[in-house]
Structure 1
Amino acid sequence: MTDEERRAAEADCARLIALYANLNDEARWDEVVALYAEDGVMVRPTAPDAPIHGREAILAAFKSRPARTTRHVCSNVVITLESADTARGVSAMLLFTGAAAPLVGSFHDRFVRTAEGWRFAERRGSLTFAP
């Protein structure tokens, strides 16, 4: 893999992180779920022991939540390529929900290159400070 190919893959994975936050804040659940591999896994920062497996289950989890206004702020994004088709990433996350205190945490991501492009194989959130 050339340096240019590596940088392009890292940029594609970092873009997934930002796109995920924006689509999540806009409650565009079908588009959020399309960022996962078909067999992707989501672990919410507020439910670290309850992984959700597969796009269908992830979509159901998003749609079952009560409507709310949110703003996710993601930073300190570092992507590490493991191979031409797999990568890992870590990012800091700050979630504003209005009335509640902000949640501070991080995401540890695994990415996989699919026929659709780079997708989340696993998105594992955690909280740095308990609410």
Structure 2
Amino acid sequence: MIALSHASRAAIEQACTRLVLNAAAATDRQDYAGLVALFTPDGQLFRPTAPEEPLAGRDAILASYRARPAQRITRHFCSNIRVQVESPERARVTTYVQVFAADTQHAPDGHFGWPLAGRTMIGEFDDLCVLDQGAWRFAERHARFVMHRDG
């Protein structure tokens, strides 16, 4: 590892943490164009359901997300974000994530929103983040499920 000042290391950790949280927020808002902008142009997304077949490049990632049912809403709760700074331009990030989903085809339950649908999943993201044209982006994102609870 390259020696970095405490301030530089902290700034990288903060930027990478923000990247993880911005990706969760963009996914939950169904802002898929905003999500793919968080990847490098040739970034790869390894999905938990097809880890051997990564989505390569922004166009492939965008097409995959746009194919999701529009009535399915999600909320990603990210925690235990650990950033390992490797250099001024590269960091690895591990994040725990809990994913909740609902189907908006049904009416919400008054002030309580939509009832949860399907499985609640707990997983992890293992990310390779790089400084790309002045912004931190995902070069690789590996998502995997660790456990679930059936709805």
Helix, strand or coil for the counterpart of 1:18?
Answer: helix
Which has the larger displacement, 95-104 or 7-16? 95-104
User: How big is the shift at 1:65?
Assistant: 1.4
Cα distance in 1 for residues equivalent to 2:34 and 2:124? 22
TM-score (norm 1): 0.95
Taking the TM superposition and a 5 Å limit, the aligned residue runs for 1:20-59 are 20-59=23-62
State the AA in 2 paired with 1:15.
R
How far does the alpha carbon of each residue in 1:72-123 deviate from its partner, in whole angstroms, 9 at most, with x for none? Answer: 1110000011111110010101100121120111000000101141000111
Cα distance in 2 for residues equivalent to 1:24 and 1:89? 18
Higher relative strand content: 2
How far does the alpha carbon of each residue in 1:8-28 deviate from its partner, in whole angstroms, 9 at most, with x for none? Answer: 011000101011001100000
Runs (4+) of structure 1 exceeding 6 A deviation are none
Gaps of 5+ in 2: 103-116
How many residue pairs match? The answer is 131
Give me the CA root mean square deviation.
1.2
Cα distance in 1 for residues equivalent to 2:37 and 2:147? 30
TM-score (norm 2): 0.83
Cα distance in 1 for residues equivalent to 2:99 and 2:9? 30
Cα distance in 1 for residues equivalent to 2:15 and 2:48? 23
Q: Considering only CA atoms, is the larger Rg found in Structure 1 or Structure 2?
A: 2
User: How big is the shift at 1:46?
Assistant: 2.8
**Residue 86 (structure 1) aligned to one of 84, 90, 95:** 90
Cα distance in 2 for residues equivalent to 1:30 and 1:66? 16
Tell me the percent identity.
39
Gaps of 5+ in 1: none
